[in-house]
């Protein structure tokens, strides 16, 4: 939604009656009559952006409930309805009041993303072999950054980020959910969910065969049997009991701090304002530099996939956060001194690219799957819900 901001604000202004016919028909660039400067447009635009995180924050509490009630696969299938509905609301926004339709669509999409950001890592963590759990868990973040890169490219003004096509741009956000709905039925349900929560050993055995091919599932089933016995000794762990119990306190603190460090690292400032930062650094076409950030983002997520099971979660997280700290200092110094020393603009631009690189090595992907690794089957849904809420709240 950030790429076509100006054209969306113009549409808001027309809908609210604060964008004059003369300005609307002008071919000149939006300047002093920019509708984005009007208080009503500012309010609705700010709500359009923030309502997404609010929706995610609210729905993240329901991750455990949906995952346990319908299962991991059926749960993801069910919530895809929300993404399609959100895409339709935004894609057809010009049929009524664009500002109301977009805000409604963003709220529903945020609600959907809050659920999937918990259900997907939960499912991957339960079906992945131990040796590849980190790499497969990082694929969740890889899909996210690829989506960001694609949206940056198709959001260019000569593609879909213009007055005529921006509703289609926003509406396409529901397309991946349609594709997922077609492919998810081919995926087996989590054997841990089937055996530990439902007690369906034969179905869990079939699921293991589908996941791993012909093999002896005895070792896997024995591991799940022991975990089920441990879970039966505990009461059902709710979010409140998870917070109040001293048994899970250390794991919970680690999980919450991982998610807080991800969101409070400053990465969102880079993603949201990279175009403005590059413009200030003297880049003639800052929007293409921003796409370059998206490319770097994707490349180093692939690097993380290769390293996470070899180097370890702790090492990559510490290296990533330490590198981001150094890059933030370099970027600040570069932007501050670039008027005095022209070469400082290259320092600030390099710092931005390195900042994103260090983020995707560890702090970006690891928090999403480490929660499933820290907790056993009993408290896992509540822990993922609480960590997800922490992430969305600090977004």
Percentages (nearest 5) of helix, strand, coil residues in the chain: 80, 0, 20
pLDDT of 290 = 86
**194 is a domain residue:** yes
DSSP state of 188: P
**Coil vs helix vs strand at 42:** helix
State the pLDDT confidence band at 265, using cuts at 50, 70 and 90: very high
Confidence of residue 20 (pLDDT cuts 50, 70, 90): low
What the block records as the tokens of 318 is: 């510490």
Q: Quote the tokens at residue 294.
A: 């998206």
Q: How far apart are CA 384 and CA 248, in angstroms?
A: 13
- Residues 166-187 have a mean pLDDT of 96
Bigger pLDDT: 309 vs 234 = 309
In a domain, 307, yes or no: no
Please give the pLDDT value at position 130: 86
| Residue 276: burial class (beta carbons within 10 Å; 0-12, 13-18, 19+) | exposed
* pLDDT score recorded for residue 33: 58
pLDDT tens-digit readout, 335-382? 889 888 888 888 988 999 999 999 999 999 999 999 989 988 788 889
- DSSP per residue, 48-86: HHHHHHHHHHHHGGGHHHHHHHH-HHHHHHHHHHHHHHH
Q: Residue 261: what pLDDT? A: 94
227 within a domain of the structure (yes/no):
yes
Residue 349 lies in a domain: no
Q: How far is CA 49 from CA 43, 52, 256, in A?
A: 10, 6, 24
pLDDT bucket at 302, cuts 50 / 70 / 90:
very high
- Residue 199 structural domain: 188-233
> Mind giving me the DSSP string for 327-362?
HHHHHHHHHHHTTT-TTHHHHHHHHHHHHHHHHHHT
3-state secondary structure 151-171: HHHHCCCCCCCCCCCHHHHHH
pLDDT of 304 strictly over 70: yes
Q: What is the mean pLDDT of residues 122-139?
A: 92
Tokens of 165: 């096509």
User: 52 pLDDT exceeds 90?
Assistant: yes
For residues 204 and 127, what is the distance between their CA atoms, to the nearest angstrom?
A: 11
Q: What is the pLDDT of residue 31?
A: 42
Closest listed residue to residue 386, CA positions, set 237, 225, 256, 235:
256
Given this model, what pLDDT does residue 229 score?
87
Task: Give the integer Cα–Cα distance in Å for 123 and 381.
Answer: 11
Average pLDDT on 155-176 reads 94
Which of the four pLDDT bands, split at 50, 70 and 90, describes residue 35?
low
Quote the pLDDT of residue 29: 43
Q: Is residue 251 part of a domain?
A: no
Look at residues 275, 304, 305 and name the one whose alpha carbon lies nearest to residue 291. 275
Collapsing DSSP to helix, strand or coil, 376 comes out as coil
- HSE-CB for 200 with a 13 A CA cutoff: 12
Residue 259 has pLDDT above 50, yes or no: yes
Q: How far apart are CA 177 and CA 86, in angstroms?
A: 11
Residue 274, CB half-sphere, CA atoms under 13 Å: how many?
27
Sign of CA dihedral 175, 176, 182, 185: negative
- Answer yes or no: is 319 within a domain: no
Query: Which has the higher per-residue pLDDT, 29 or 199?
Result: 199
pLDDT at position 30: 44
How far the first Cα of the chain sits from its last, in Å, is 16
* pLDDT band, residue 107 (cuts 50/70/90): very high
Which of 207, 144, 214, 133 has its CA nearest to residue 173?
144
Q: What is the average pLDDT value for the chain, to the nearest integer? A: 90
Confidence of residue 296 (pLDDT cuts 50, 70, 90): very high
Which tokens hold the place of 248? 């899970």
The answer to whether position 102 is within a domain reads no
Percentage, residues of the chain above pLDDT 70: 95
Give the closest residue to 207 by CA, choosing from 190, 186, 219, 221: 190
Q: Residue 34: its pLDDT value, please?
A: 66
Here the tokens at position 112 are 């959907």
The number of distinct structural domains making up the chain is 1
Whole-number Å distance between alpha carbons of 150 and 172: 11
Q: Which residues of 170-189 are buried (b: 16+ CB within 10 A; e: fewer)?
A: bbbbbeebeebbeeeeebbb
- Report which listed range, 80-89, 154-163, 222-231, 265-274, is most confident: 80-89
Query: If DSSP codes are grouped into helix, strand and coil, which group holds residue 266?
Result: coil
Q: Do 26 and 163 meet the contact criterion of CB atoms below 8 Å apart?
A: no
Whether residue 134 is contained in a domain is answered as: no
- pLDDT over threshold 80, residue 386: yes
């Amino acid at each position: 939604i950030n790429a076509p901001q100006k054209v969306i604000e113009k549409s808001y202004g027309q809908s609210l009656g604060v964008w004059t016919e003369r300005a609307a028909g002008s071919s000149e660039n939006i300047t002093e009559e920019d509708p984005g400067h009007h208080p009503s447009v500012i309010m609705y635009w700010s709500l359009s952006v923030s309502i997404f995180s609010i929706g995610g924050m609210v729905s993240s509490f329901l991750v455990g409930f949906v995952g346990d009630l319908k299962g991991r696969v059926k749960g993801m299938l069910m919530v895809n309805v929300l993404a399609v509905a959100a895409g339709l609301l935004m894609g057809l926004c010009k049929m009524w009041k664009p500002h109301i339709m977009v805000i409604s669509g963003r709220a529903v999409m945020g609600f959907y993303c809050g659920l999937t950001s918990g259900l997907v890592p939960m499912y991957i963590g339960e079906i992945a072999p131990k040796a590849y759990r980190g790499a497969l868990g990082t694929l969740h973040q890889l899909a996210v950054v690829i989506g960001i890169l694609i949206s940056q490219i198709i959001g260019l003004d000569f593609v879909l980020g213009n007055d005529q096509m921006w509703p289609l741009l926003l509406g396409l956000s529901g397309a991946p959910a349609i594709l997922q709905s077609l492919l998810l039925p081919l995926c087996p349900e989590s054997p841990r969910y089937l055996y530990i929560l439902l007690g369906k050993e034969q179905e869990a055995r079939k699921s293991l065969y589908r996941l791993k091919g012909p093999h002896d599932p005895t070792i896997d089933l024995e591991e799940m049997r022991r975990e089920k016995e441990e879970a039966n000794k505990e009461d059902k762990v709710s979010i409140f009991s998870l917070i109040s119990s001293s048994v899970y306190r250390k794991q919970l603190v680690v999980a919450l701090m991982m998610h807080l460090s991800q969101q409070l690292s400053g990465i969102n400032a880079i993603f949201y304002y990279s175009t403005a930062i590059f413009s200030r650094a003297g880049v003639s076409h800052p929007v293409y530099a921003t796409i370059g950030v998206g490319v770097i983002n994707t490349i180093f997520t692939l690097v993380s996939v290769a390293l996470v099971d070899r180097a370890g979660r702790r090492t990559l997280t510490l290296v990533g956060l330490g590198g981001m700290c150094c890059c933030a200092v370099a970027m600040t110094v570069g932007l501050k001194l670039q008027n005095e020393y022209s070469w400082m603009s290259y320092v600030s631009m390099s710092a931005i690219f390195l900042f994103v690189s260090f983020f995707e090595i560890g702090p970006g992907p690891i928090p999403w799957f480490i929660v499933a690794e820290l907790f056993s089957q009993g408290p896992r849904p509540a822990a993922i819900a609480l960590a997800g809420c922490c992430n969305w709240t600090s977004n």
